[in-house]
Structure 1
Amino acid sequence: MKNIFKAKETANIISRINQLTPNTASLWSKMDVAQMMAHCNVTYEMIYTDKHPKPNTVKTFLLKTFVKKAVVGNNPYPKNGRTAPQFLISAQKEFEKEKNDLVGYITKTQKLGETHFNNKESHSFGKLTSNEWNNMLYKHLDHHLNQFGV
């Protein structure tokens, strides 16, 4: 897995994002490109804002038990996989705003670095290692950028 905390990989991801246009078509799924970036922003909103409520104790237990491995593990996400309700984006989104937000979040994460994220509490899975954070962040971005052919 490439390391999203490394400047080279961050630059590569941002370069791929910069290849997107408001008209870039999805190779699978129903989301348009602005919705996809808004969807990717949810992960970072959970890290950096209080926009999304934390799951209750029961839901957290279920997420840790049944979902965590798929999200933070090394295996790529399948096409058209299920997603949590807060990640479902059905409203129209503004391309440039979502793009700027996403690039800003990616840059901030890279600058904070692996040490900042090691054993940092995640919104849904409890404390994660920097490797688990990397896997979750990198493979989610890579999955959706591949979805739009970049």
Structure 2
Amino acid sequence: MQIADDVISRINKLTPQTSPQWGKMNVAQMLAHCCVTYEMVYEDKHPKPNAFMKLILKMLVKNKVASEVPYKRNNPTAPAFIITDERDFTTEKERLINYIRKTQQLGESAFDGRESHSFGPLTHTEWNNMFYKHLDHHLTQFGC
């Protein structure tokens, strides 16, 4: 609970003028980018990879995404996560905070063994790592 509240506090420090320390996205695009992880959990708007691609993702990407090892700067981005159009800062900020709160309310038991969009079933620890380190990476990118 404390970690989610801390992340939301960091998000609330962002303003529409906050600039990145690296990368191409503006702050509203970054917030929309961070929402994609949650869209894959809660909405049916992103096509799921086929069995072969899921196997490849599980073998080559899962550990990078779900382990505790932090992301490096300027890593390749999966196509579904690339946000190039302009987004509304306030809308994206509210969406992201709502997703975090929903996840927090469901609790870790709702995620233990839950099927992920791209990697098959994950433990609650893998889900926590995946959610947190992506948010932490991008909040750090924007100095928060």
Report the TM range for the smaller structure's normalisation. Answer: over 0.9
The normalised TM-score by structure 2 is 0.99
Establish whether residue 30 from structure 1 lines up as the match of residue 2 from structure 2.
no
Establish whether residue 115 from structure 1 lines up as the match of residue 94 from structure 2.
no
Partner of 1:8: 2
Alpha-carbon RMSD across the aligned residues, in angstroms, is: 0.4
- How high is the sequence identity, in percent, across the aligned residues? 57
Partner of 2:81: 87
Whichever residue aligns with residue 101 of structure 2, its letter is T
Establish whether residue 98 from structure 1 lines up as the match of residue 92 from structure 2.
yes
- 1:23-43 C-alpha deviation (Å, 9 max, x unpaired): 100000000000000000000
Distance 2:54 2:15 in 1: 37
Q: What is the DSSP-based 3-state SS (H/G/I as helix, E as strand, rest coil) of the residue aligned with 2:36?
A: helix
Partner of 2:42: 48
- 1:110-141 C-alpha deviation (Å, 9 max, x unpaired): 11001000000000000000000000000000
Distance 1:144 1:57 in 2: 30
Q: Flag structure 1 segments of 5+ consecutive residues without an equivalent.
A: 1-6
Q: What is the DSSP-based 3-state SS (H/G/I as helix, E as strand, rest coil) of the residue aligned with 2:115?
A: strand
- The offset of 1:74, in angstroms, is 1.1
Distance 1:111 1:55 in 2: 28
Distance 1:36 1:53 in 2: 21
Distance 1:89 1:56 in 2: 23
Establish whether residue 135 from structure 1 lines up as the match of residue 119 from structure 2.
no
Whichever residue aligns with residue 125 of structure 1, its letter is F
Q: Which runs of 4+ in 1 moved over 2 A?
A: none
